[in-house]
Amino acid sequence: MAEAETEGKGRRVIDRPLVLSLFPGIGLLDRAFEEEGFCVVRGPDCLWGGDQRRFVTPCGKFDGIIGGPPCQAFSRLAHMVRQNGYKPKFGNLIPEFERSVSEGQPAWFLMEEVPDAPIPAVDGYGVRYRLLNNRWLGEPQNRLRMISFGVLGRGRPLPIQVEALMSMDYEYAATGGSNREIPVAIGGSGKPKKHGREGRSRLPFNTKSADAFRELCRKQGLPDEFDLPPFTVSAKCQAVGNGVPLRMGRAIAQAVKQAMNYQLEQSA
């Protein structure tokens, strides 16, 4: 495999595991894994004109495979799309993720999806899954995802460290579907009415505004200087909203390191 071992002062460190990212989008999950010391190779994505269905994964080259296939088919709003005579833009591409894992035979894989998506199944891999909300990590954004972790042979739990208490702040999820205006009910005082028990106002979301893009970047944990110059503002909002929040991605990457013992300290 791609692991390189280095010796030093009483400990052995497995250096920079090589990871293949499928359906990477703009690479927010990749960025989180890279920040935690992984070396990430990005596969094809429709955002850049690629097609995962034509991609062949080389066997034995990657320590792990990560990714989040398009979730529109499993969104809880998908039935509304079908009710209006349309189909979700992407069908079920989880079998393509499973095929790549089967071809590549990595030591482990991780798939993030919406809660109602099916759990991936690949021959030879034990799979554990769990729900993870970004708020459980101390962040205000309310974003719930299903995290599936498969290990070659017998499955292992993914030890994601969550905060003892959720953030007192509450923010609606930044999603790819946020690129539309949210109507605001105006009360007799002329001020926006508050909605929900959290008492948050839902303000109009105008994706032609640079401020909207900056707000989505903030929710996702991206730095102020982050930008996607080739895209329109609306496309930028959709691309960022479809990504995994960086705080969530880092927590997942840290848990993979712990589960796979990628940092091993040994007595001299």
Residue 80 has pLDDT above 60, yes or no: no
Query: Domain ranges in the chain?
Result: 4-162+244-265, 176-241
pLDDT at 181 over 70: no
Choice between 136 and 267, residue whose per-residue pLDDT is larger: 136
The residue with tokens 């034509």 is 54
Q: What is the pLDDT of residue 105?
A: 98
For the chain, what is the mean pLDDT?
Answer: 81
Separation CA 229–CA 220 (nearest Å): 18
Nearest Cα residue to 134 out of 93, 166, 176 = 166
Mean pLDDT of 240-264: 91
Residue 6's nearest CA partner among 41, 37, 32 is: 37
CATH code for 4-162+244-265? 3.40.50.150
Predicted pLDDT of residue 165: 84
Spatial distance between the Cα atoms of 29 and 249, rounded to a whole number of angstroms: 5
What confidence score (pLDDT) does residue 212 get?
87
Helices 246-259 & 28-35, crossing angle to 10 degrees? 50
- Confidence class of residue 151 from pLDDT cuts 50, 70 and 90? very high
Per-residue pLDDT tens digits for 54-64 = 999 999 999 99
Higher pLDDT, 62 or 267: 62
- Residue 199 vs residues 92, 131, 139, 169: alpha-carbon distances, Å: 36, 25, 17, 10
Q: Strand pairing of 18-22 and 39-42? A: parallel
Q: What is the model's pLDDT at position 48?
A: 87
What's the pLDDT band for 200 if we cut at 50, 70, 90? Answer: very low
pLDDT at residue number 173: 86
d(CA 64, CA 147): 15
> Scanning the structure block, which residue is given the tokens 């960022």?
240
Higher pLDDT, 29 or 177: 29
Q: Check residues 48 and 252 and name the one with the higher pLDDT.
A: 252
Closest among 88, 67, 94, 259 to 161, alpha carbons compared = 259
